[in-house]
Amino acid sequence: MLDRSLIGATSGKRFLDIERSQLKLFCQAIGEADPVFWDQAAARAAGHPDCPVPPTFGASLNYLAPAAEDLVTGTLGAPLGRLLHGEQSFAYHHPLYAGDRVCLLSRIADIYDKKGGALEFVVIETTIHNQRDLLCIASRAVAVLRH
Amino acid sequence: LSAAISARDLAALQPGDRLPGFTTPPITGLTLALFAGGTGDHNPIHVDPAFARANGFADVFAHGMLSMAYLGRLLTGWVGPRRLRSFQVRFAAITPIGAEVTCSGEVLALIDDGGERRARVALTAALPDGTVTLSGDAVVVLG
């Protein structure tokens, strides 16, 4: 069983610059064909200050700016091969653009189990602020550990 | 450049209206390798068949976030990138390699939130046999 006393543990702040080249690779990977998401000129022509990030890119920022110790596989010690992604949500508070410098902070918000402990659930909440300290995205991920 | 719906069409939305869905090409190993690089998610369960087998799976399978990204494409293709307020999904089943993912959505309700007109939409990703892999919803601003 995962150590419930670690609920509330945080990743520490992580910083990352949002790069157009990374956005382009992300769009290529998901079949996104609208260049506003990676081409600055196309974004400006469409009325954006720079390329807006696609809706689920916030989850990628988590991977691209990893914590020194991953909360789920490191702090909690859950084996990677037994984890599945159960749920994901994003709340959008302020737009994020290419060129922004983001600050990520993740926290173990909850741990619970179902099926007599056969499945454990870890809730990770992450906030993503921009360089003006505006909250842009609040993310909530539920990881499922199969025992 | 943007295929986004017009403000006039947004104003005329009704519950039950269908979003512009699509079906992806088959997911290949290359799709998952690109997604690992595009997202920074290098979990070997999605790109290393030996690791997947050692953990009880027949083969690698797609990242759940790939299908959520497809649903994100559906949303931004419909209303553009600036109207989303929230987006959430539950991952209900694994998406195997080779699968084509059908993404669809429907307007559930129109909401007035402090003078901002919003729509709540239901979203689904499904396999060719009808298995629902992701179900969720999103809130978009209408005006």
Model ipTM value: 0.97
Is the pLDDT confidence value at B2 over 70?
A: no
d(CA A5, nearest CA chain B) in Å: 26
**B5 pLDDT tier (thresholds 50, 70, 90):** confident
Pairwise CB contact (< 8 Å): A54 & B73 = yes
Cβ count near B11 (within 10 Å):
10
Q: How confident is the model at residue B3 (pLDDT cuts 50, 70, 90)?
A: low
Cα→Cα distances A66→A11, A111, B113, B142, Å: 9, 21, 36, 36
C-alpha to C-alpha distance for B62 and B31, rounded to whole angstroms:
9
Asked if A46 and B86 come within 8 Å (Cβ–Cβ), the reply is: no
Can you give the pTM of this predicted structure?
0.97
- The Cα A147–Cα B122 span in angstroms is 32
pLDDT tens-digit series, residues A72-129: 999 999 999 999 999 999 999 999 999 999 999 999 999 999 999 999 999 999 999 9
Return the pLDDT at B87: 98
Average pLDDT score, chain A: 97
B80 closest CA partner among A25, A43, A41 = A43
pLDDT tens-digit map of B24-62: 999 999 999 999 999 999 999 999 999 999 999 999 999
Closest B-chain CA to A31: B70
Count CB neighbours of A5 within 10 A.
Answer: 8
pLDDT in tens, A35-68: 999 999 999 999 999 999 999 999 999 999 999 9
Condensed to tens digits (0 to 9), the pLDDT of residues A127-145 reads: 999 999 999 999 999 999 9
> What pLDDT is stored for residue B8 in this prediction?
83
Tens of pLDDT, residues B69-118? 999 999 999 999 999 999 999 999 999 999 999 999 999 999 998 889 99
C-alpha distances in Å from residue B78, one per residue of A94, A107, A118, A132, B20: 20, 33, 40, 30, 7
The whole-number pLDDT of residue A6 equals 98
Confidence at residue B1, expressed as pLDDT on a 0 to 100 scale: 35
- Separation between Cα atoms, residue A138 and residue A106, nearest integer Å: 10
CB contact under 8 A, A60 and B41: yes
Q: Best interface-test mutation with B: which of A56, A94, A126 has the largest number of B CBs within 10 A? A: A56
